[in-house]
Amino acid sequence: MSFGQGGPFDGPGGSSSSTPDWGALAEESEAQTRRKRLLWIGGGALAALAVAGIVTVAVLSGGGGSAGGNPTASPAESGQAAAPDDKPSFPDVSVPPPPNPRDYISDPKKDTAPLTPATLFAQKSMVVGEHTYPRTHTATTKDCTAGAQGPLVSSLSHNGCKQLLRATYAKGGVAVTIGIAVFDSPAKATKVMNENRANLMPLPGGGVPADFCQGTKCRMATNATGRYAYFTIAGYLNGKDVTNTETKARQIARDGGAYAFSQITQRGKDQAAKVAEQQLKEAQKKAGKS
């Protein structure tokens, strides 16, 4: 093996260099390899220790717990400003469920609003769909029999009628008188309806002649809702009999019944709405104090 120029050779005629010690070279190479391995292992351990130190510093500076498990100081304790709470708070307003309007036309203890022709027949005209009929006259009586005739007198009396309110509407040669009778319970009103004695006394005045539906054939009907029974009697202003084929008297009779029903139910809605409004005010006031 040659080591290049200037290697261990004698001049011409001299003896050749001795053979290299291959065992020593092998031991030296193995020793170098072990040293390199130790350096890599030692370097990796130092790097791991450095990373662990960085992580520990980051955790401590980020507000995490200390090595002993004790929490670090809060921002307020360390002198830092606490983050503001951006979520607004609202008081808990608990409102009862809305009242049922039907309760206020069924229970005399709840049905306490004023009950007069001015409140029950407040509009100057009866409007039902596309039909409009001016009001001609109104009346009310505690003696229900005074506004009835024929079999209806005994029906109202026996079932304890408390008040009878009437209103008449007329247009185009026909008219209708609506009667609304008040009872202590829905059962009494329903009983009067089922007896079907719809002989309401017509209410003349304001252009409706005194003999309106007196001695002539007129259309009569009865119905009930809540503690109210209501009646209609409709016919011609000139005394003409109402027949099964004519339409004008039949139309105003149907409109009169629909209007009576709507006025009674509206009474219940108005009273229920008033109570609901009061409940809301009381709940808001209570929430304001809490």
* Pairing status of strand 125-128 against strand 163-171: unpaired
For 86-134, write each residue's pLDDT tens digit: 555 555 556 678 889 999 999 999 999 999 999 999 999 999 999 999 9
In a domain, 82, yes or no: no
Asked whether residue 180 is assigned to any structural domain, the reply reads yes
Residue 94 lies in a domain: no
Reported as a single tens digit per residue, the pLDDT across 250-283 is 999 999 999 999 999 999 999 999 999 888 888 7
**Is residue 149 domain-resident?**
yes
Any domain includes 18: no
What confidence tier does 288 reach under pLDDT thresholds 50, 70, 90?
confident
Q: How many structural domains comprise the chain?
A: 1
Q: Kindly state whether residue 41 falls inside one of the protein's structural domains.
A: no
pLDDT of residue 3 exceeding 70, the answer is: no
Q: pLDDT over 70 for what percent of the chain? A: 66
Which residues form the domain of 153?
Answer: 103-274
pLDDT tens column, 139-176: 999 999 999 999 999 999 999 999 999 999 999 999 99
- Confirm whether 201 is domain-assigned: yes
| Cα 188 to Cα 221: distance, rounded to the nearest angstrom | 17
The domain spanning residue 232 has which CATH number? 3.40.1000
Q: Is residue 81 a part of any domain in this protein?
A: no
- Quickly state the pLDDT bin for 23 (edges 50, 70, 90): low
